[in-house]
Chains A and B, each alone.
Chain A
Amino acid sequence: MAVTALPGTTTATPTKRRPRTDGMHRAAKWLLAITSILIGLLTLLPIIWMLFTAFKPESDIVSYPPTLWPRELTLEHFVEVWERIPFARLYLNTIVFAGGVTVISLLFDSMAAYALARIPFKGRGIVFVGILLLLMLPFQVTLIPLYDMLNGLGLTNTLPGMIIPRMTNAFGIFFLTQFFLSLPRDLEEAARVDGASEWRIYWGIIMPLARPALLTLGLFHFQYNWNDLLWPLVMSSEVETSTLPAGLSLFMGQHVVEYGLLMAGSLLAMLPVIVFFLLIQRSFVAGIATTGLK
């Protein structure tokens, strides 16, 4: 089958030795192409289904047998979704939550990572090991005490309550520490000789060099929080203070059959992450491939 594991980084040496297998080779290539495009389409089925259903009128959605392709197109669900669900509110909440966590966490993660990677100091090893230990902690273990604490502070059902505990992240610190460690020392040594403060070296030299890593980690944080279900579900008892995944799943629990509306809402909810991903796909995938941790 397809076990000829010829790496994609093609041969540097020009090997044109076996012309007689060329025809077979080409056929195999087309077979591979068709197979993998089919697999790709099948994988996309839920997303395609969501897309098409969002534009189908209700009568089309409930008709049997179901069809993928819409018989008729309508925008009614996209109008309705803003009226039936506090969708604008959910959207805004999700932007503030995911955006806020991403920006603040990138700052605090990178500051901590700078200290750990670039400043030799006493206690560095202990702090780093501590962060590694926290990295292994499943989030669900702290969920109940955390909720209890924030509830005591009156922060449940608020955006700050959702954002504050996530303003830094052990994975983010670890990820950036590894990246900062890989940067050459000479640039900052020169700056240090010139008397630059650590803050200037961090902000003026290291951070600009770390842009690809920050971009990757930023997308990690953003998509993780944008997509998260359990945390907003626990933190908000009302749809008004919730985020898109929790709000849509709550709505689904109450109105099971309104799939047109749900699909239009889902489509709008997933759009930002998909667009972001397609924009910085390359560095995101590279980041994942090298440190597959989150």
Chain B
Amino acid sequence: MTTTVAPAAQRPRRRPASVNVRRTRTAWLFLTPALLILIAFTLYPMVQAVWLSLTDYNLIRAAEFVGLDNYAALFADGAFWNAFGNTVLYAAVVAPVTVVLALAFAILLNQRFPGRAFARTAIFLPFIVSLGIIAIAWAFLLDPNIGLLSYWLSFVGIVPEQGWLTDPRFAMAAVMMVGIWKNVGFYMVIFLAGLQSIPVDMYEAARLDGAGAWQRFRSITLPLLSNQTLLVSVLALIATLQAFDQIYVMTRGGPFFRTETLVTLIYREGFENLEFGYASAISFVLLAFVFILSMVQYGFLRRRQVTY
């Protein structure tokens, strides 16, 4: 590749300008495959999505510019507000519960005791398996007639009349439970890494000063984990806003659209009703959410250094 420039490199006096030019050219060569793919399959579709959201395009009829009609229709559409509300509800429950549970598990599994490695692996395992596949097992566990979990829960008095996934009052709780289960181990691992970077002497000193367990948690653990907490919270929010897999498998957004989120609505409008323009408009609402959160995340990732 660089054979043409190789002889020049052996010449004793190199001119800095030519070195810079050569370097820049090599760098761009290295970047070419990745940049071409990103431009063709991410950047261009992104621009295309803006355009589509301003048209009435569906797979059959050619795109016609309709201005902001899609957005106007969106804000007047009950289905959109339903999906929006469901997404906010899902995020508002799943994100905080997952983060708090992850922190609790991390603190628990940071102690030394037999069985710790097993528990860590077991809690982390759901994160690496396919949510689309394991959701089938979850749907089965919650089957009103032959599901083990719905049978066990009936002993505690939780018996949805129409079965977990078909009862409008319980279906959302079921997909939320699966969402929490899926990611709690991932956030736990981030918290564990944070816990292990806290110097042990701080706890020793606090104990000598007579601080109790709760006080040590409040004034050492929590403040020194603030970076991880922020990171995990943002990650959890972004993930919950994009919930799709277990909902598609377990309820298809039902019953009566009670579990339809923004992404399942995009899927339904885009790939079942083939309303590409309208679905693109919905996806920009999602983009706005995720982008703002990502900016927050990036902003603090840059100043990630913890100072003790």
Task: Write the residues of chain A forming the contact surface with B, with a CB cutoff of 8 angstroms.
Answer: 2-13, 15, 29-30, 32-33, 35-37, 39-41, 43-47, 49-50, 53, 61-68, 107-109, 111-112, 114-116, 119-124, 127, 131-132, 134-138, 140-149, 151, 164-168, 170, 173, 195, 197-199, 202, 223, 226-230, 233-234, 244-246, 248-249, 252-253, 259, 262-263, 266, 269-270, 273-274, 277, 281, 285, 288-290, 292-293
Of A7, A124, A245, A290, most B-chain CB atoms within 10 Å: A7
Does B159 count as interface, using CB distance less than 8 angstroms?
no
Closest to A253 in B: B252
Distance between B36 CB and nearest chain A CB, rounded to angstroms: 9
For chain B, the bracket of interface size reads 35 or more
Complex alpha-carbon distance, A123 and B284, angstroms: 29
Given contacts A11-B200, A119-B27, A134-B43, contact A245 B132 (CB under 8 A): yes
Complex alpha-carbon distance, A47 and B37, angstroms: 37
Distance between A196 CB and nearest chain B CB, rounded to angstroms: 9
Given contacts A112-B35, A227-B129, A229-B244, contact A7 B6 (CB under 8 A): no
Complex alpha-carbon distance, A108 and B36, angstroms: 11
Complex alpha-carbon distance, A270 and B118, angstroms: 19
Q: Pick from A50, A67, A119, A246: contact of B26, CB below 8 A.
A: A119
Does B23 count as interface, using CB distance less than 8 angstroms?
yes
- Which of B74-82, B92-100, B104-112, B168-176 lies at the interface? B104-112
**14 extra A-B contacts, CB within 8 A, seeds A49-B137, A140-B286:** A3-B107, A3-B216, A3-B221, A33-B116, A40-B121, A107-B33, A115-B26, A144-B270, A144-B283, A165-B42, A230-B244, A252-B136, A281-B121, A292-B186
Does B84 count as interface, using CB distance less than 8 angstroms?
no
Whether B128 lies near A292 (C-beta < 8 A) is: no
B111-135 CB contacts (< 8 Å) to partner A: 111-116, 118-119, 121-126, 128-135
Whether B128 lies near A274 (C-beta < 8 A) is: yes
Q: Pick from A44, A64, A123: contact of B145, CB below 8 A.
A: A64
Does B263 count as interface, using CB distance less than 8 angstroms?
yes
Whether B148 lies near A32 (C-beta < 8 A) is: no
Chain A, interface SS category: helix
Given contacts A11-B200, A115-B31, contact A49 B52 (CB under 8 A): no
Distance between B111 CB and nearest chain A CB, rounded to angstroms: 6
Does B91 count as interface, using CB distance less than 8 angstroms?
no
Whether B24 lies near A121 (C-beta < 8 A) is: yes
Given contacts A8-B196, A119-B30, contact A142 B46 (CB under 8 A): yes
Whether B140 lies near A53 (C-beta < 8 A) is: yes
Q: Which residues of B contact A10 (CB under 8 A)?
A: 112, 200
Distance between A288 CB and nearest chain B CB, rounded to angstroms: 6
Q: Which residues of A contact B238 (CB under 8 A)?
A: 138
Q: Pick from A145, A146, A285: contact of B189, CB below 8 A.
A: A285
Distance between A64 CB and nearest chain B CB, rounded to angstroms: 7
Whether B137 lies near A273 (C-beta < 8 A) is: no
Whether A292 lies near B31 (C-beta < 8 A) is: no
Whether B141 lies near A46 (C-beta < 8 A) is: yes
Does B68 count as interface, using CB distance less than 8 angstroms?
no
Q: Which residues of A contact B52 (CB under 8 A)?
A: 144-145, 148
Closest to B283 in A: A141
B183-213 CB contacts (< 8 Å) to partner A: 185-187, 189-190, 192-193, 195-196, 198, 200, 203-204, 213
Whether B190 lies near A292 (C-beta < 8 A) is: yes
Of B113, B196, B232, most A-chain CB atoms within 10 Å: B113
Does B138 count as interface, using CB distance less than 8 angstroms?
yes
Whether A39 lies near B123 (C-beta < 8 A) is: yes
Closest to B282 in A: A140
Whether A49 lies near B148 (C-beta < 8 A) is: yes
Does B279 count as interface, using CB distance less than 8 angstroms?
yes
Complex alpha-carbon distance, A81 and B166, angstroms: 27
